[in-house]
Every structure is written in C-alpha cells, then in structure tokens.
Structure 1
Amino acid sequence: MTPRFYRESEVSQVLDMSTAVEVVDECLRQLAIGGAENVPRHRSRTSGFVLHSMSATAGYLNVAGWKQYATTASGARFHVGLYDCERGRMKALIEADRLGQMRTGAVTGVAARYLAHGPITQLGLFGSGWQAESQLEAIKAVHPLSRVFVYSRDEARRQSFAARMSEELQIEIIPVHDPREAVEDLPLIITATASKTPVFDGTLLSEGALVCAMGSNWLQKAELDVNAVRLADNIVCDSLEACKLEAGDFVAAQEKGYFDWDKPVELGAVVANLAVGRNNKDSVVIFKSVGLAIEDVALAEKFYQRAMTNPGLGVSLPL
C-alpha cells in the first residue's frame, strides 16, 4: 500500500480533543514503562530560517515517525511522517499544524487530570493565540470548567479571544486588565504565550495551585519567574531530557540556587504510578511542557487509523 497524504482540514475533520487527551495519556504512560522512545527536538539555523526536527518510536503501536517544521518571519509549516515499524514503510505524510495544536493542549489536559487538586471549575489563562484555544479545549475535556480569566498584552486580542471562545466552549471567559487577576485565588494557571520574560509574579500563587507552562521551548525564554519555581513543592516535566535542553523557565532559578534537576519528575511516571506529582492538597505544582514527538506520532497514528476507514480522505503518494 502506498503512503497517504493528508491536509490540515482532514485532521480537523477526524480528530477531537477528548480523543487527543486519551491518546496522549497513554503515550506518556508508555514512555514511562518502556513502550515508547522519544528523541528531543534539534534545530538547524541559517539567516531567517530554522528547521526543527524531532522523532519517536511507539513500539506499543508498532509505529514510528518524525515531526519536521520550518519557521521563518512569515510563519511556520508543520509535517509529520508516520512509519510502519514491521516493514519500515511510510504510512502517511500529514500536515500537522492542527495536530500539533491538539496534542499540545492534550498534554495540559493530562497534566490537569493527574496533578490538579480536585475538579477545576475556573482557571487563569495567559495568552490569547492559537495554542491558548486548545489549552481551554483540553481542560474542558477533563474538568467541569465554567469560568476563565484571560490576560494578554493586546487588549483587543484578549477581548476577541474571550468572545469567540466563550461561544465555542459555552463557558464564561472574562478578559482582565491586570495579570494578577489571572493568578490570585485560582487553582489552575496556564501560560500559553510567546513571551521571552515572566508573565506573572509567582508570589501571587495560592496554596494548592497548579501551573501549566507550555508557551516556551527555548532556553532563552521564560514564562515563569524565579519566585514561582522557588515556591513550587512539586515540579513535573513532560520529559526531563527535553526540558533540560529547552525549559528556559528554570534557568534563572537554577542560577540562584532555587532549582536543580534532581527535583522534577516526568508526567508519564506520574500517569504510570511510578512517581508522585503532588505531595498534598496544599502543594504548589508546576508542570512544564516543551512538546514531544511521541505525542505527535501517537496522535498521528490515531488519525491515520480513523482516516483509513474513509476512502475519501487523503491522496496516495508515489513513494
């Protein structure tokens, strides 16, 4: 069978966030117990251009794959290649912007499922872009979310985001003018920004708060300040190996002696009951996500299996 090529619109047609959360939940568990292997992102640069490359094998699914994307001043282009491990043949080439958005949201959903103290009905959100949308989708898939306080630097964008996502998710989304309104007295704070510097004061975090930081995957960027990291009782990463390469949120705290790499555990280990992600109900917990290829590969396989039941989706490639 020749490989199939699928477009963004077909990914959106086939996948939903509830499915993505379950797929990512299982792939992280498999990563912890040896059923999968992840290779962190590597980047190759030239003037005005960056090529980002990451890959994974999902032995439990008998598939492997890679994600490649190019970023320039005009934007980014994402693709996932999916392979059959038994015969080594390519199964699919998939446009993967929406797939990546869904898996990024789904990881936060999984983190909120295992690390939050009790049901989440309200949260604070930093960011009003593409990735912020899927963060709310994912939390609503795993918790009875009813109210969101959203902050971003651009007032018009946060107003528009609040109106659009309120209607789409049927929850109350309140745009706020002060960052502290998206932190104080809230059980969950999500950062989904492109900021190079911390977006809130960590001393504002309440007892028992969970912070999910997913906007930065560069060592030169940090959405969290030293105080947030210093005050955290538990720190959980999607991958320790990947976070050591890309989690700029921990750099300043490490330089000041408030953080070392003996403290964090991996989310997959928490899912598999091999590690503790929250000490008690009053613990402040940070979850740091930089994005893993295994999540893309596992979700791509789920998409492929569903798409193959509809012969009208995709086109054959002459490979």
Structure 2
Amino acid sequence: MKEWQILMLNQQDVINTGLLEDMTGVLEKVETVFRLHGMEQVENPPKTMITLNDPETGDWMSKFIAMPVYIGGKINRPGIKWAAESMTNARTRELPMGIDMVILSDPVTVEPKAIIEGTLITAMRTAAATGIAAKYLARKNSEIVGCIGAGVIGRTVIQALVEVFPGIRKVKLFDIYKEKAEKIAEEFQGRVNVEVANSLQETVSESDIMATMSTSTRPLVKKEWLKEGYLITQLGANEVEARIVTDSDMIVVDDWEPIKHNHLSVFYPLIKEGKIRDDHIKLLRHIVCGKIPARISEGQNILYSSRGMGCLDIIVADHIYKTAIEKGLGYNFKMWDKPYWI
C-alpha cells in the first residue's frame, strides 16, 4: 500500500543539511535558476500580498506573501513560498522579522512532498542573487565592498560576495546599530577584513561594489559618493536617491513587474514622471543566459535592484529536500491512510 507522507524539515534540519556552510552550492543553484528562467523554463508569477496596518498609526504592521513557482528542466519542481514579515518582531527582536515556509509538490500527482522552514533559505538565496548579479555586473578587479545593513542579509551578502570575488581585500560595513556591525566583523575574522564604518558616506565612497540591505524607507546613498564604474545592488525598495537611477548607464533587476508597481519604490515616481521606461530596464536572467551582454566597460555605472523571486527559494529548497532524504533528516507527516473522497 502506498504511503502518503510529507517530509517535515524544521530549521535545525535545514542547518543539518549543510546549507549555511554551502554558499558555493547556493550560488550555483541560484545561477542555474536565473539561466532556466531566461530560457523560459520557469514560471514565476507575481507575488500575492496581504498587508495589515497598525490601526493607530496607519503604518504597515505585518505582511503575508504567496509566491508560487514551477521550475522546469531537470529540476521539474512546483512549489510555493509563504513569506511573512512583522514590524513587531523587528522591534521586540523576540522572533525573526521574516518567517517563511516552503512547500514542495510532485509535478504529476500534485502531492505535497515536503514542508520546509524557509527563513534560512531566504537569507542564503537573497545573498546569492546579489552575488550572481555582482559576478556579471561588477568590475572584475573589484577589491572593496561596501555594505549598508548588518542584519541577517548583511551577513550572508558578505559571505556571497567574498565567494564570488576571492580577491576582495576589505568590506566596509555600516549599520546605525554599531554593535551589530562589530559582531559581524568579528565573525568574519580570518576570512576577510570587515571594517566597521562610521558613516554612510565613508562606506560608499571607498567601495567598488556597494550593497544596501536595510529597512530604510528613505534614500541612503547619494550619487556623488559613488566611485566611477560602480555597481550598486539595492535589496530594499528605496535606498538609493533618484539620481542614481536616472544617471546609471545600466539598470538591471531580478523581476521588473513587482518593482515597477511598488508605490514605495524609488522607481515609482520616476515612472510616473516618464523618466524611466520599460525599455530602460534589463533583466538579470537575460544576462545570465547570454541573451544580452553583461558589463561592457570598466567605467560603466550599473544599478541592480532586487525584489526577490520565489524560484530562488524553490530551487534551494528542492536541493535541501533531496539532501535531507539522503541524510535521514526530518520526520514524516501522514496526510491520510487513504483519501476519504476521490
């Protein structure tokens, strides 16, 4: 008799697959899914989001986001990421600001095959996407990285960029909470020199590659601070001033539609004013699969902006699922002994 079981993987199971020590593998998976997406073998429809606002202030309090995906090719995996964010958690620090789950399904019978804690997957794949963007868009001789934001993603972005550019000799890290930056600098001792910066300008002005991953709702990075030939990767919606968008020689994004329609994004007013059009935007997946060229000169100034795509989570989760089976991790949940109605 067939066993109808779902493999349940909690956060410790995910850690035990070796995910956090395998940025090389995550980078490879993320690059693969960008390439497959560029070759039209991935279905990654727009996210569906519900926002709950604080009744007193009117500011957003929590968000719930559904991200369905199908990855074709040899992966052949449908799945969905359920992502949620809480400003209460960010304030109290009793729980992660983002709490995510991933469900993987069988492509033929549609049975759910695994339910996986997704918070660490999010942290690793987000950083890996930045790493892949830098691989194609940064100057090959880049030596100094600037990072704004010393949260979870700040840590993994440093990990990814050092992996992609082993010649990096210094990381300038800034956070308004200096002790958080100091903690990350200590973690990277012996691997790369992470120097805690005293100001935003100091962080930006020295950097060949600039990465922003903050929760700021206002622009942080000014155009005049950036080196000529820069790559700046923006993981938030509104961390760079408008002049960086309009003056960059090349604008690359992971997924344009959700960025284009995000009214909190730096792009939104520029689109309304006619200063940015669809034909100004390049998709990273088309660069990775070779449909359009990457950086073409040392002096080219490039902005990469990311909204995050579910296909990155699903390809990493699929690998975790297969690894967990090999290692005997997790436990099985039986949905039914026999389906009641067929």
Q: Normalising TM by the smaller chain, what interval?
A: over 0.9
Cα distance in 1 for residues equivalent to 2:81 and 2:212:
24
Q: Percent identity?
A: 24
Q: Relative to structure 2, which stretch is displaced further, 6-15 or 95-104?
A: 6-15
Tell me whether 1:23 sits opposite 2:29 in the alignment.
yes
1:58 pairs, out of 51, 54, 71, with: 71
CA 1:177/1:258 → structure 2, altered by over 3 Å: closer, same or farther?
farther
1:64, 1:83 within 8 Å by CA — same for their partners in 2?
yes
1:88 pairs, out of 100, 104, 110, with: 110
What is the CA-CA distance between 1:84 and the residue it aligns to?
A: 1.5
Cα distance in 2 for residues equivalent to 1:151 and 1:252:
28
Matches within 5 A, 1:66-145: 66-72=80-86, 73-74=88-89, 75-144=97-166, 145=168
1:233, 1:279 within 8 Å by CA — same for their partners in 2?
no
What is the CA-CA distance between 1:254 and the residue it aligns to?
A: 3.3
1:203, 1:228 within 8 Å by CA — same for their partners in 2?
no
1:237 pairs, out of 215, 240, 253, with: 253
CA 1:39/1:109 → structure 2, altered by over 3 Å: closer, same or farther?
same
Q: Relative to structure 2, which stretch is displaced further, 106-115 or 66-75?
A: 66-75
2:9 pairs, out of 2, 6, 14, with: 6
Partner of 1:149: 172
Amino acid in structure 1 at the alignment position of 2:208: P
CA 1:115/1:9 → structure 2, altered by over 3 Å: closer, same or farther?
same
CA 1:185/1:59 → structure 2, altered by over 3 Å: closer, same or farther?
same
Alignment deviations for residues 274-302 of structure 1 (CA, whole Å, 9 cap, x no partner) = 01332422110111111100001111111
Unaligned runs of 5+ in 1: 217-221
2:43, 2:70 within 8 Å by CA — same for their partners in 1?
yes
Cα distance in 2 for residues equivalent to 1:161 and 1:204:
24
Runs (4+) off by over 4 Å:
none
CA 1:243/1:49 → structure 2, altered by over 3 Å: closer, same or farther?
closer
Partner of 1:273: 290
Alignment deviations for residues 192-231 of structure 1 (CA, whole Å, 9 cap, x no partner) = 1010011111222222111111133xxxxx0111121122
Alignment deviations for residues 246-266 of structure 1 (CA, whole Å, 9 cap, x no partner) = 371312433454422211111
Partner of 2:327: 310
Cα distance in 1 for residues equivalent to 2:63 and 2:44:
21
What is the CA-CA distance between 1:163 and the residue it aligns to?
A: 2.3
Partner of 2:93: none
Cα distance in 2 for residues equivalent to 1:161 and 1:249:
29
Cα distance in 2 for residues equivalent to 1:121 and 1:11:
32
What is the CA-CA distance between 1:176 and the residue it aligns to?
A: 1.2
- Normalised to the residue count of structure 2, the TM-score between the two structures is 0.86
Unaligned runs of 5+ in 2: 54-60, 90-96, 336-342
- Normalised to the residue count of structure 1, the TM-score between the two structures is 0.92
What is the CA-CA distance between 1:178 and the residue it aligns to?
A: 1.9
1:203, 1:227 within 8 Å by CA — same for their partners in 2?
no
